[in-house]
């Protein structure tokens, strides 16, 4: 569960820009705090989807990153980006990223792992699109091979009128990486506020750090002996011989590990390793799974906020107006007791009406009891097809 607890009064926006020569420096230490040598550092901009790989001189001027390392800036969202619609009625479009280095292959298999149709060609580097048309209803798997890397996705066909199954190349996609700051200058690798992930390698060891830098800074990667803990939360079997697992991986410090790829995992049967091609193994990370966002908004309506209640309600309505497509919100009001005004819904009119219905309550404020009540609305529901994130907002006046 991802849970963000925010206390909000009223705030004013501020802006700033990076000073010139904002340098990020990287170093590494082992478990005994001895300095060790880095093999490479990958800087992923999680906001824009761009990436820089540094193999020597482990420092970088973030302002001039594109100029200095221009040829190394790439889109990190490789493989199959999206399949829509899915389930498929007649045909679907597959958006995918190609490295453009050699001939790539698309192969569709049925539920019995029989090859249905194959399409091969060399694609232009970047985001491409291909049209997929199944011949019959059923569950299928799409295998995409690009630059010796293999990606899989599952599709469901509910209707088909085609005589034969087929792939048809559409061309380069005009889609750009979705981003909260999509309007930022395309030529910049980094703009203040972007979230960066630094993944460092030293021999066979890996470590990662997340940050949104605002000034020159030195990052120290503390490498420990290679250790991964695998926890499974849900295991489902699917006809005829598929096993789907929802799992997490943590290191020896119980910190989540997100840099492992498909080839870092092995599938064993009775203690014997199964070939990846035979097992059709593929790993989806959380950001590749459609997610649902549930948000709880708590509004203080005790007598102490009487003069500011309209401002609190206005701020909450602004939050509702920014409702995302996959988001549902529940509204509470609290003073001496907590009242649920509307359960989770994506209807903005319902949410705004609930907020506007709030009147001044009692003089006392049961803050902590109200927070416990609000948090009880949040449930973890693990599924293999949908992720879930939670946010929690408390609008309260502190004097």
Please state, for a pLDDT cut of 90, what percent of the chain lies above it: 21
Write down all domains in the chain, each with its CATH number in brackets. 3-9+24-75+180-222 (no CATH), 79-172 (2.60.40), 229-288 (no CATH), 291-395 (3.40.50.410)
Q: Is the pLDDT of residue 188 over 90?
A: no
* Per-residue pLDDT at 21: 52
Q: Is the pLDDT of residue 66 over 50?
A: no
- CA 288, 290, 291: angle at the middle one, nearest 5? 115
pLDDT band at 15 (very low <50, low <70, confident <90, very high): very low
pLDDT band at 63 (very low <50, low <70, confident <90, very high): low
Mean pLDDT of the chain: 79
Q: Is the pLDDT of residue 76 over 70?
A: no
CA distance 243 to 222: 36
CA distance 316 to 331: 9
Q: Is the pLDDT of residue 14 over 50?
A: no
Measured in degrees and rounded to the nearest 5, phi and psi for residue 9 equal: -105, -95
Lowest mean pLDDT among 83-92, 258-267, 383-392: 383-392
Q: What are the tens digits of pLDDT across the range 33-59?
A: 888 899 999 888 887 777 888 887 787
Name, in order, each residue with C-beta under 8 angstroms of 121's C-beta and a sequence gap of 6 or more.
103, 104, 169
* Per-residue pLDDT at 384: 67
Output 177 or 16, whichever has higher pLDDT: 177
Please report, to the nearest 10 degrees, the dihedral formed by the alpha carbons of residues 242, 245, 251, 255 taken in order: 150
Lowest mean pLDDT among 247-256, 325-334, 369-378: 247-256
* Per-residue pLDDT at 220: 93
Q: What are the tens digits of pLDDT across the range 312-343?
A: 999 899 989 988 888 899 999 999 999 999 99
């Amino acid at each position: 569960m991802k849970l963000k607890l925010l206390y909000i009064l009223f705030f004013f926006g501020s802006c700033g820009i990076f000073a010139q020569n904002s340098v990020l420096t990287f170093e590494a230490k082992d478990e005994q705090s001895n300095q060790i040598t880095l093999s490479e550092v990958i800087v992923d901009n999680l906001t824009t989807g761009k990436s820089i790989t540094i193999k020597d001189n482990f420092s970088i001027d973030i302002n001039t990153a594109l100029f200095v390392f221009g040829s190394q800036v790439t889109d990190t969202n490789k493989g199959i980006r999206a399949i829509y619609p899915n389930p498929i009625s007649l045909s679907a479009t597959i958006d995918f990223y190609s490295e453009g280095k050699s001939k790539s292959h698309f192969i569709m298999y049925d539920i019995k792992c029989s090859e249905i149709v194959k399409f091969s060609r060399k694609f232009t580097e970047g985001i491409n699109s291909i049209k997929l048309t199944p011949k019959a209803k059923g569950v299928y798997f799409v295998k995409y091979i690009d630059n010796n890397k293999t990606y899989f996705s599952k599709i469901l066909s509910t209707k088909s009128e085609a005589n034969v199954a087929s792939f048809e190349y559409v061309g380069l996609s005009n889609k750009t990486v979705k981003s909260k700051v999509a309007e930022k200058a395309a030529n910049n690798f980094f703009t203040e506020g972007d979230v960066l992930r630094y993944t460092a390698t030293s021999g066979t060891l890996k470590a990662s750090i997340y940050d949104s830098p605002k000034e020159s800074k030195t990052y120290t990667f503390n490498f420990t002996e290679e250790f991964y803990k695998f926890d499974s939360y849900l295991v489902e079997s699917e006809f005829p011989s598929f096993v789907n697992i929802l799992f997490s991986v943590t290191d020896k410090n119980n910190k989540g590990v997100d840099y492992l790829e498909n080839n870092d995992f092995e599938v064993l049967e009775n203690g014997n390793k199964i070939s990846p091609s035979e097992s059709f193994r593929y790993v989806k990370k959380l950001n590749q799974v459609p997610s649902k966002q549930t948000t709880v908004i708590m509004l203080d309506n005790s007598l102490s906020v009487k003069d500011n209640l309209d401002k609190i309600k206005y701020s909450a309505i602004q939050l509702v107006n920014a409702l995302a497509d996959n988001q549902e919100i529940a509204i509470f009001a609290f003073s001496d007791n907590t009242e649920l005004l509307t359960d989770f819904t994506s209807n903005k009119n319902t949410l705004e009406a609930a907020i506007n219905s709030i009147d001044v309550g009692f003089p006392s404020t049961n803050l902590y009891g109200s927070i416990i009540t609000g948090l009880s609305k949040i449930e973890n529901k693990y599924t293999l097809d949908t992720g879930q994130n939670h946010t929690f907002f408390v609008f309260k006046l502190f004097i």
